[in-house]
Amino acid sequence: MLKILTAALCATLCFSGLAEAQDRKRLGYGRLITNDFFGDGEDRWRTGGFQSSRVWGPTWDGAAPTGFGQLLELRLSAEILAPDDIRTPDPGDRPYAGALSAGLHTHFSRGPMEYSVGGDIVFLGPQTRLDELQDAFHDTFNISTPSDAVRDAQVGNDVLPNVVAEAGRSFAIGESTSLRPFVEARAGVETLVRVGVDFTYGAFGQGELLVRDGVSGQRYDVVQSDWTGFSFVMGADIARVADSEFLPASSGVSPQDTRERLRAGVMWRSETGVSGFYGVTYLGEEFEGQDEGQIVGAIRWRVPF
């Protein structure tokens, strides 16, 4: 049923607004890199990820259009998850997993509410070659590489659908501060419902399109406005988890029922358009037997040519 739902959603997004397709143009691009090396310096669990977005639409006037499917986002992502010790993991630690995904999402607004809805196709397992990529990268920098036993026990090959939906509303608190409660639902690779809040001090996000990173919860700008200077962000959310394909029953590891995230970051943009972002996110325990949370860092830079 989920595969049918995802296919129907993608088809709806692809064919909605075809009458206006000739007027659709590229509006922006954004990306975010996450890695625990930029956070607590460990090489474990949610150890590395990348997410990028390319957006097309008829126009951008500082807010998402009201029509479903008018603004389309092509979203690409990759993620590696690993046990605490990638050479000889303890029994009960999470299995190694690699995931690659591609999907189509739409952003729209109705009154003060902002919505994002989309579907992805996710490739899991050795077929992604992410274990080989990590092995080569670690070998180049003389870092411990995943053992053959860890790679052999990784989550197996699969192709799965994933549906993501978010609704939020921004509240201005003075001229330079905003608060944005949101709710998010995911079904497929990980099935959960999440509620949270984003806090921004500065102009980041004003008149811009922001997309949320799936790992850290940090938001990155895809359609930018012309503000300059510094902005500071904070946020928190909690999720109720029903299932995770990253923790299959065959691994003997069960997901925690709840999952928490706390995050903060700083965004800087110059008058020439050069910009940079650095943020950290605390990820609470995700599986039974995990003895502590972790801190992952997130970076993004932009140099216009």
DSSP conformation letters of 125-184: SGGG-HHHHHHHHHHHTT-PPPPHHHHHTSPPPEEEEEEEEEEEE-EE-SSSEEEEEEEE
Q: What whole-number distance in Å separates Cα of residue 50 and Cα of residue 298?
A: 9
- CATH at 230: 2.40.128.140
Tokens of 89: 């993991």
Query: Does the residue 260 lie in any domain?
Result: yes
Instruction: Assign 6 to helix, strand or coil.
Output: helix
Looking at residue 15, its pLDDT comes to 45
**What pLDDT score does 139 carry?**
84
Count of structural domains within the chain: 1
Instruction: Flag whether 39 is in a domain.
Output: yes
Predicted pLDDT at 13: 53
- What is the pLDDT, as a whole number, of residue 265? 98
Mean pLDDT for each 10-residue chunk of the chain (305 residues)? 49 47 84 96 95 96 95 98 96 96 98 97 97 90 89 97 98 93 98 98 96 98 96 98 96 96 97 95 97 97 85
296: left (phi over 0), alpha (psi -120 to 50) or beta: beta
Per-residue confidence (pLDDT) for residue 3, from 0 to 100? 52
Query: Is 102 domain-assigned?
Result: yes
Please give the model's pTM, rounded to 2 decimal places.
0.92
Three-state SS for 227?
coil
> Does residue 244 sit within a domain?
yes
Please give the biggest Cα pair distance in the chain: 57
Q: Specify if 41 maps to a domain.
A: yes
Q: Residue 292 domain-assigned?
A: no
Confidence (pLDDT) at 138: 86
Which residues, other chains included, contact 188 with Cβ-Cβ below 8 Å and sequence gap of 6+? 2, 6, 120, 122, 160, 161, 162, 163, 245
Does residue 78 fall inside a structural domain? yes
Domain hosting residue 97, numbered range = 2-287+297-302
